[in-house]
Amino acid sequence: MSPDGTWSIGELAEHAGVTVKTVRFYSDRGLLPEAARSSGGHRRYGPEALDRLRLIRSLRTLDLPVPDVGRVLEHEGALEDVVAGQLRELGTQMAALRWREAALQLLQDCTPSERADRLRLIGAVTAPPSTAALARFWRRWLPARLPARLAAAVIEQAVPQPPADPNPAQVLAFARLHALVTGGCDGGEVCQPAAHQTDKGYRPAVLYDGLGEAYELAGAQLLAQRPPHEGEALDCFVSAYAGSHGTRDTPDFRRMLSGQLAMDPRIDCYWELTAEVSGSAQPTPGAAHDWLCAALDIQAARSAA
């Protein structure tokens, strides 16, 4: 150190164990302030520059971008925000890598005849995958006059979140689900069930409020492995439809409803794929709906006999 207590750029680099080029790089970006300039115009650094340079190196070792390093140096409280941001970014990168690994295993393990179709399916999905297309599908599927709170609740329940550490089968199921919802309806028809295309007196909020309770009751029956049957779950289900139409729950109404609620192959496929993606043992709303429709069909057939 010189008599004035400063170091040259070479001396600072030597003490810090870095190259002169590294010191110059951080100096030029304002991260390492100079104490003064020599009579010959050379940079001079005070002893505090060594601690600052070591801190910069530590932050860069964590792969923090230079602008974020600058924020930390200028504002002591910025480190927490910068670290949180980096953790979020790393989480996204790791999720993408796990998804890609499972997708590659899917291609590696399939037969040559399956490879082209699977490559087409997974190639249409980002890594990590987005659920935006699934949410759009449900916004088109749900009744136009459904209150926002109910629509949001249905979409949250209906759209499966991609697993953080997927297996190849889950990748394939999600890719098929994405292809299903982005493929449009057959023949260009409206993407809504017949029950939603009804008269002006139809109250979708009454229907979906009641369906939530009916699906919960039917889900308990499914978990108990009970076959479709009459009871509280079916009564709640029919009551939701009757109330939404402003009519009474009668045997005639139940027979009419049984004919109207024919299973939709497209939506049934959606729920089957959703169950595969989630890997959960909990029944999906689709499984509960099918159980209730089957119970209604059994009752309608019995009353017509």
pLDDT top residue among 50 and 41: 50
Going by C-beta distance under 8 Å and a sequence separation of 6 or more, which residues neighbour residue 54? Answer: 16
Give the integer Cα–Cα distance in Å for 170 and 162.
Answer: 8
Do the Cβ atoms of 258 and 192 come closer than 8 Å?
A: no
Half-sphere exposure of 255 (CA within 13 A, CB side): 9
Longest Cα–Cα distance in the chain: 110
Fill in the amino acid letter for 36.
A
Tens digits of residue pLDDT in 160-191: 999 989 999 999 999 999 999 998 655 444 45
pLDDT top residue among 145 and 81: 81
Average pLDDT of span 265-281: 91
Average pLDDT of span 43-56: 90
pTM of the entire predicted model: 0.77
Do the Cβ atoms of 203 and 170 come closer than 8 Å?
A: no
Tens digits of residue pLDDT in 199-240: 667 889 999 999 999 999 999 999 999 999 999 999 999 999
pLDDT band at 144 (very low <50, low <70, confident <90, very high): confident
Average pLDDT of span 252-281: 88
Going from the C-alpha of 25 to that of each of 35, 52, 251, the distances in angstroms are 16, 14, 83
Tens digits of residue pLDDT in 94-120: 999 999 999 999 999 999 999 999 999
Q: Three-state DSSP class for 37? A: strand
Average pLDDT of span 279-293: 93
pLDDT higher than threshold 60 for residue 143: yes
pLDDT higher than threshold 50 for residue 74: yes
Give the integer Cα–Cα distance in Å for 251 and 72.
Answer: 71
Give the integer Cα–Cα distance in Å for 273 and 21.
Answer: 56
Angle at CA 106, nearest 5°, toward 105 and 107?
Answer: 90
Give the integer Cα–Cα distance in Å for 139 and 152.
Answer: 9
What is the gyration radius of the CA atoms in the chain, in angstroms?
Answer: 31
